Amino acid sequence: MSLFSYLLRRLAFAALVVAGVMVITFLISNVVPSDPARLYAGSKARPEQLAEVRKQLGLNDPLPKQFLRYVSNLARGNLGNSFKTKRAISDDLKTFLPATMELVVYAIVLALVLGIPVGVISASQRGKWLDNLSRVITIAGVSIPSFWLAILLQLFFFSYLGWLPLSGRLSREILLTQPIQPITGFYSLDGILTQNWAAWRNALWHLILPVVVLATYPISLVARMTRAAMIEVLDEPYIRTARASGLPMHQVLFKRALKNALIPTLTVLGLTFAFSITGAVLVEIIFAWPGLGKYVTDAIIATDFPVIVSVTLIVTIVYVLINLVVDVLQALIDPRIELG
């Protein structure tokens, strides 16, 4: 099967998955006992005002009609308005989604930069003290609760040492005197693009703690997966031949063995990337990070269904696209894998 045919097939399957999730979340949001009109109009609204709001929002219509209206709006790029804030959800996502993606992207980059070399070195030193040490650290990394690690780092680096900020994306002084003009939504990049160096440095300092917390699990998982895959590859005949021919060990490990060992690691990394978008909820709450996790948490507390459905849809699309990218990368890295 050609790459183009494979992509068409996967995209069609992805569309079915997204449609299924959309139907399920829409039905659940309408089954949960609540009064969206009360949320929209306010707790002090009179009965006649609530009736007018229900008519205005179409809440009195049958569910199939409501769902068709929702799908029609989606087709036009309209995610609707929040019942709580009255703002357009698409406008909110332009603010909250980049904030979360900034954390997730840096966390995954750290997982690649640290996790893969640790796994390779650990496999090459199998059974030795360095391997045992890395295994203990990575087991702790996948086991430690993120909220506990976040609080611990806040106590140590903010309360005791005073080296790093406690929370937020920027300090109050920077927000008042030198705020970043958002272009991409990534403050660490927007500071460079606008040459706002004071805000750029401040944004980097605020990124350190939440990124480290969010990256701890992916780093440990990638290191363990890379180690397990490398151990299998290092036992292959072509690796023994390369060693016997006198090639330097770093070339054997990183140029020959790692290429084949990366395939299972890529799969885990892709799923971890998508999982981190929703897994950032606790991290964002603890660090008062104005991202997607905090946004949807506030929506759940307020039973703001349009926001909940829209965020679920966005996360589903991210999962599906990342799975597709990972599958294609696997086929490109290893010709033995067929697109089917």
Domain spans of the chain, in order of start:
3-75, 90-333
pLDDT number for residue 229? 82
- Give the mean model confidence (pLDDT) for residues 293-305: 81
Does the structure show a pLDDT above 60 at 338? Answer: no
Q: Report the SS3 class of residue 171.
A: coil
- Give the mean model confidence (pLDDT) for residues 200-227: 90
- Give the mean model confidence (pLDDT) for residues 199-208: 92
- Give the mean model confidence (pLDDT) for residues 159-170: 88
- Range of lowest pLDDT (51-65, 116-130, 209-223): 51-65
Paired tokens of 111:
């997982």
- Range of lowest pLDDT (44-53, 76-85, 124-133): 44-53
Q: Report the SS3 class of residue 81.
A: strand
**Rounded to the nearest 5 degrees, what angle is found at the Cα of 70, between the Cα atoms of 64 and 73?**
140
pLDDT number for residue 242? 67
Does the structure show a pLDDT above 80 at 89? Answer: yes
Contact 123, 226 (CB under 8 A): yes
Nearest Cα residue to 257 out of 237, 241, 224, 234: 234
Q: Contacts from 191-200 at CB under 8 Å and sequence distance 24+? A: 198/174, 199/170, 199/174
Does the structure show a pLDDT above 90 at 208? Answer: yes
Dihedrals φ, ψ of 81, to 5°? -115, 150
Measured in Å, how far apart are the chain's first and last C-alpha atoms? 6
Contact 59, 40 (CB under 8 A): no
Identify which has the larger pLDDT, 62 or 99: 99
Does the structure show a pLDDT above 70 at 51? Answer: yes
pLDDT number for residue 41? 66
- Give the mean model confidence (pLDDT) for residues 258-286: 77
Question: Sign of the CA dihedral 44, 47, 49, 54?
Answer: positive
Identify which has the larger pLDDT, 250 or 46: 46
Question: Sign of the CA dihedral 46, 52, 58, 62?
Answer: positive
- For 138, half-sphere exposure in the C-beta direction (CA atoms, 13 angstrom radius) is 25
pLDDT number for residue 179? 86
Contact 170, 199 (CB under 8 A): yes
What whole-number distance in Å separates Cα of residue 94 and Cα of residue 90?
6
Residues of the chain above pLDDT 90, percent: 9
pLDDT number for residue 34? 65
Identify which has the larger pLDDT, 324 or 105: 105
* 27: Cα separation from own chain's centroid: 25
b/e map 241-256, b = 16+ CB within 10 Å: ebeeeeeeeeebbeeb
Q: How confident is the model at residue 260 (pLDDT cuts 50, 70, 90)?
A: confident
Name 88's bridge partners.
Answer: 81
Non-local (6+) Cβ contacts of 190 within 8 A are: 180, 181, 182, 183, 184, 196
DSSP letters of 256-317? IIHHHHHHHHHHHHHHHHHHHHHHTHHHHHHTT--SHHHHHHHHHHTT-HHHHHHHHHHHHH
Give domain 90-333's CATH number out of 2.30.40.10, 3.40.640.10, 1.10.3720.10, 1.10.10.10.
1.10.3720.10
Q: How confident is the model at residue 10 (pLDDT cuts 50, 70, 90)?
A: confident
